[in-house]
Amino acid sequence: MTITNFVAFTDLAVLDILRRREAMTVAEFAEELRVTATAVRQRLSRLLAQEMIERTATRHGRGRPKHRYRLTAKGLRKSGSNFADLAQALWQEVRMIRDPEIRKGLLQRVAKRMAVMYADTADGKTLEQKLATLTDLFGERRLPLELDKSGALPILKAITCPYPELADQDRSICAMERLLFAEVLGTDVRLAGCRLEGHSECTFELN
């Protein structure tokens, strides 16, 4: 395997190929990526464990079944997550709503809808368990969260902004993120610090 091929052989590369090809065998992956079948199986095993892909078996004659891999709904969201233009257009329409109560109600409904989407992943009985799964969930989306327990109240730090271009235009996006965290965690959340105010990261205080 060359260094170039090794760098290109990532989880996202596999997911992107499946988005284009729908279903593939180990041999087809190896040929497409120009890596060994063993390397492919290791990568696919990890993606199976993460529920990003699923495996189906087809049998032809009396030989061993042939396994094909395809994206799950979770993997499809992961591989097709570049919706920046759509998000920009939709958010501009939200900003055009002049009535503050209508706008607030819409943000709350959006936050609730997103919380429902995350419900199966960000589970847990205690607040600490919910925080751990929420951190893992955002980590999978390359949006690192850190939990600071040094003060009187726990503080959740968003190291990078999930919506940098939108946040630079309108702080309401920060309010929606706060509402989302509150819905997922089942507790009151306060925006204690914001990048738009010169802070290095956005911080959310949990009550």
What is the tens place of the pLDDT at every residue in 128-137?
Answer: 888 888 888 7
What is the tens place of the pLDDT at every residue in 114-129?
Answer: 888 777 666 677 888 8
Structure tokens at 151: 């003060």
| pLDDT on residue 176 | 85
CATH 3.30.1380 maps onto the chain at: 84-206
**Range list of H helices, the chain:** 3-8, 11-21, 26-33, 37-49, 73-79, 84-95, 100-118, 127-140, 164-169, 172-185
- Residue pair 110/173 in contact (Cβ under 8 Å)? The answer is no
Domain 84-206 grouped into CATH 3.30.310: no
| pLDDT on residue 84 | 63
User: Could you tell me which residue, 190 or 174, shows the higher pLDDT?
Assistant: 190
| pLDDT on residue 79 | 66
CATH 1.10.10.10 maps onto the chain at: 3-79
What is the tens place of the pLDDT at every residue in 66-118?
Answer: 899 999 888 877 766 555 666 777 888 888 888 989 988 998 898 888 888 77
Cα 72 from Cα 86, distance rounded (Å): 23
What is the tens place of the pLDDT at every residue in 167-178?
Answer: 777 777 888 888
Say which CATH class 3-79 falls into: mainly alpha
What is the tens place of the pLDDT at every residue in 22-38?
Answer: 799 999 999 988 889 99
CA-to-CA dists, residue 153 to 37, 44, 108, 113, 156, angstroms: 50, 41, 24, 27, 10
Cα 111 from Cα 61, distance rounded (Å): 51
